[in-house]
Structure 1
Amino acid sequence: MGTKLFGLNDKKNWHDYLNRLNNKDVYYTPEYCEIHERNGDGVAQLYLYEEGSDFVLYPYLLRCLNTLPHLCQVTQKYGNLYDITTPYGYGGPLTNVKEEARLNEILSRFTNSFRDYCKNADIITEFIRFHPLYQNHNLFTCGEKFYIRDTIYVDLTKDYDEIWANYDTKNRNRIRKSKSYDLQIKHRNRNERQDLLRLYNSTMKRTGAKEYYYFSDTYFQDTLELLGDNVELIEVVTEEEKVVMSVIFMLGDEYIHYHLLGSDQEYLRLATNNLVVDYMVQWAKERGFKAMHLGGGYAGNNDSLYRFKKHFNKNGALPFYIGKQIHNETIYKELAASIPEECQGYFPVYRHSNLTQTRPAEKMIKIL
């Protein structure tokens, strides 16, 4: 048995282990993690626990607490302190072990190994957003895990007629009507992102999205360039050549993800969003993908975004879980002691948005 720690300078070995999984997803790749390292969200790492040909791998972002000014008294006392989190989206541990008895054994030893690593590396807390399609919250055997909300997926292994039948009736009607307009769906080159940025930011402003959901032009550029063949930029264009909807889909081995989208409010009545999702369902199915993950809503199972996604599969809800772990209770209590009462209940409490931005100020888009 043994452990290894890979960074972005060791992408080959990182990919070698991912390729030994039955189904490598884009969220686990070093390129996806690199997007967020470049965005200032932390240092991308892959922790590997290995026993012969069996292994557990776990990608995350390592963040330094010493950069948070409100923690300076504690960090000056202890030196460099860290926490870890899943990059924007989904992640958590994965393993190539399938047999149940063997799975329980290796997960137990992985958990002990990773706990020891965190203790020795001065990692105080851990926050995980588990992958709904993998349902890997079941692999989390320590700390706490919580159901947050449902996400929606489309099963692409079914015949398209069956997929279409699982669409909500109003959704099918909107797609039919959208096809009657003079609209074109275009696959764009990775350097044609100007309309995506414009439409995405206007959509976030229109929907009242939190600052966390705003991204810089560099973030979009890095996403399109680093993911390469694992990303599709799709746009809807009117007969006047006006781009009225733009969306990024990310591609894994078997899963395709509806990622970041922007649409022109004046053209929402044309149901361009519905049109594109249906088009990409067919596009992905023709290329052998097994599932399209649409994600969830902003705040639960009742907001407009969740309802829109559910229109594409009435029976496609998947539970989304998060995981929380405190690796050093003593230091965490000291860090939490300096945090105002109104911030308590957030995890980790010292990263509450009232105290510090999720991303460095220079990386943020100004909300107009």
Structure 2
Amino acid sequence: MYSFEILDVGNPRWEELINASYIYDFHHTPFYHRIDNSYKSLLFVGQDKTDFVAIPLVLRPIEGTELFDLTSVYGYCGPISNRLDFSFSDGFLAFFKDKFDAYCLKNNIVSAFSRLHALIDQHTVFAGFGDVQLLNKTISIDLTLSLEEQRKQYRKSNKSEINQLRKKGFVVEEAKSSGDIEQFVDIYYETMRRVDASPYYYFTKEYFNEFLDNSQFKSKLLVAKYDGQIVAGAIFTMTDKIMQYHLAGTTEDFIRLTPMKLVLDEARLLGNELGLEYLHLGGGVGGSDEDSLFRFKSGFSKDFKQFAVWKYIVDPVKYGMLVEQNNVKDKESCFFPLYRS
């Protein structure tokens, strides 16, 4: 009655299951799993007749050992399904967990971790299967509302500043030429230097070109121009229902004028035009109003979503051994897995 299988990114069935899901994001696709990490990615699939649940995870070696753990790609991931509410029977979910455990134990996998998607109600999958920890809030614009209702949620100062940007001659357009893309990448790097970002965020120029020209989801680079020059820009992805704000940057000379506000406003209009349901802006660093990035995004909507993560210790004995071997001092820390802290 039930079945279980594990797919890698080269298996066409991965993409078929993505396309059959009720709702998904670009973070779930095999393309993103190939481009975003150098480790092996796996899709754990449980099937109950015509219904399925699938969890994409990345297999990482644990340095200095013959052990491994599982994590998610950067962004908003977690399980997908063709069922809106993941309302599977307890028997099926127990079967899925048993099969998952058996694979992990056989392959020396100690723990599993996933960042969950703030727009998808995935929590029921993990009942009795590890812990779900609620973290920060994210911000989403409800594109099913009328344009007027969406704009009513804008902070008053946002409305004024967006109008002023248009009056001053700022325009937003889709970047399509290689020159425009290259200019945006330079602005993105400049932004990463300004915020002292970790090396992880310095994606190669090839990454940007591949991302904007892949076959598994749509993506657009929207740029703000002033006097013909690009001064800010952001990549937006578009899947079945979700428009996602991905990578962005603004030049130092124009950062005080915040042309990114105009970019986001135009992205919202594009999302409506394409018939999407959400423009997900993501969260900030800490997800509170004191966080400047969160405050910037919350100026566009008060539709806050809950971001959460899944933590699961598959092998408690080996997990505890790794924690001791790595001399972890704060064993009460929320960091997971502790041995990587």
Length-normalised TM-score, structure 2: 0.91
Identify if the C-alpha distance between structure 1 residues 101 and 20 changes in structure 2 by more than 3 Å, giving closer, same or farther: closer
Match of 1:348 in 2: 337
- Residue 51 of structure 2 corresponds to residue 16 of structure 1: no
Following the alignment from structure 1 to structure 2, what is the Cα–Cα distance between the partners of residues 100 and 143? Answer: 17
Q: 196, 202, 206: which is aligned to 2:194?
A: 206
SS at match of 2:137: strand
Show structure 1 runs of 5+ residues with no match: 353-368
1:114 CA displacement: 1.4
Following the alignment from structure 1 to structure 2, what is the Cα–Cα distance between the partners of residues 310 and 246? Answer: 19
**Does 193-202 or 208-217 show the bigger shift?**
208-217
Following the alignment from structure 1 to structure 2, what is the Cα–Cα distance between the partners of residues 300 and 165? Answer: 22
1:329 CA displacement: 1.4
Aligned partner letter, 1:25? D
Identify if the C-alpha distance between structure 1 residues 195 and 135 changes in structure 2 by more than 3 Å, giving closer, same or farther: farther
Following the alignment from structure 1 to structure 2, what is the Cα–Cα distance between the partners of residues 341 and 255? Answer: 40
Match of 2:98 in 1: 112
Q: 43, 46, 59: which is aligned to 2:43?
A: 46
Match of 1:333 in 2: 320
**1:105-156 Cα deviation digits (max 9, x unpaired):** 4333222221222112221111110000003134222212211100000000
SS at match of 1:32: helix
Following the alignment from structure 1 to structure 2, what is the Cα–Cα distance between the partners of residues 294 and 182? Answer: 25
Match of 2:170 in 1: 183
Aligned partner letter, 1:19? N
**1:192-239 Cα deviation digits (max 9, x unpaired):** 432232222222232343444443334333422335751111111211
Following the alignment from structure 1 to structure 2, what is the Cα–Cα distance between the partners of residues 317 and 104? Answer: 30
Alpha-carbon contact 1:200-1:262 (below 8 Å) kept: yes
1:287 CA displacement: 0.9
Identify if the C-alpha distance between structure 1 residues 100 and 85 changes in structure 2 by more than 3 Å, giving closer, same or farther: closer
Following the alignment from structure 1 to structure 2, what is the Cα–Cα distance between the partners of residues 299 and 212? Answer: 19
- Residue 68 of structure 2 corresponds to residue 82 of structure 1: yes
More helix by share: 1
Following the alignment from structure 2 to structure 1, what is the Cα–Cα distance between the partners of residues 293 and 257? Answer: 17
- Residue 277 of structure 2 corresponds to residue 307 of structure 1: no
**1:257-316 Cα deviation digits (max 9, x unpaired):** 0011010122123331110101010111011001100000012312110001111112x1
**Does 337-346 or 23-32 show the bigger shift?**
337-346
SS at match of 1:9: coil
Match of 1:140 in 2: 126
Following the alignment from structure 1 to structure 2, what is the Cα–Cα distance between the partners of residues 201 and 340? Answer: 36
1:102 CA displacement: 3.9
Following the alignment from structure 1 to structure 2, what is the Cα–Cα distance between the partners of residues 52 and 268? Answer: 54
Match of 2:183 in 1: 195
Following the alignment from structure 2 to structure 1, what is the Cα–Cα distance between the partners of residues 86 and 208? Answer: 41
Identify if the C-alpha distance between structure 1 residues 228 and 246 changes in structure 2 by more than 3 Å, giving closer, same or farther: farther
1:186 CA displacement: 2.0
SS at match of 2:33: helix
Show structure 2 runs of 5+ residues with no match: none
Q: CA RMSD in A?
A: 2.1
Alpha-carbon contact 2:138-2:306 (below 8 Å) kept: yes
- Residue 109 of structure 2 corresponds to residue 123 of structure 1: yes
Q: 227, 230, 241: which is aligned to 2:218?
A: 230
How many residues matched? 335
Of all paired residues, the percent bearing the same amino acid is 29
**1:18-58 Cα deviation digits (max 9, x unpaired):** 22222332221111111123xx2x21211111121111111
Identify if the C-alpha distance between structure 1 residues 128 and 260 changes in structure 2 by more than 3 Å, giving closer, same or farther: same
SS at match of 1:19: helix
Identify if the C-alpha distance between structure 1 residues 309 and 123 changes in structure 2 by more than 3 Å, giving closer, same or farther: same
Match of 1:30 in 2: 30
SS at match of 1:134: coil
Length-normalised TM-score, structure 1: 0.85
Aligned partner letter, 1:45? L
Aligned partner letter, 1:349? L
Match of 1:364 in 2: none
Following the alignment from structure 2 to structure 1, what is the Cα–Cα distance between the partners of residues 86 and 243? Answer: 28
Aligned partner letter, 1:350? Y
1:320 CA displacement: 0.3
1:63 CA displacement: 1.2
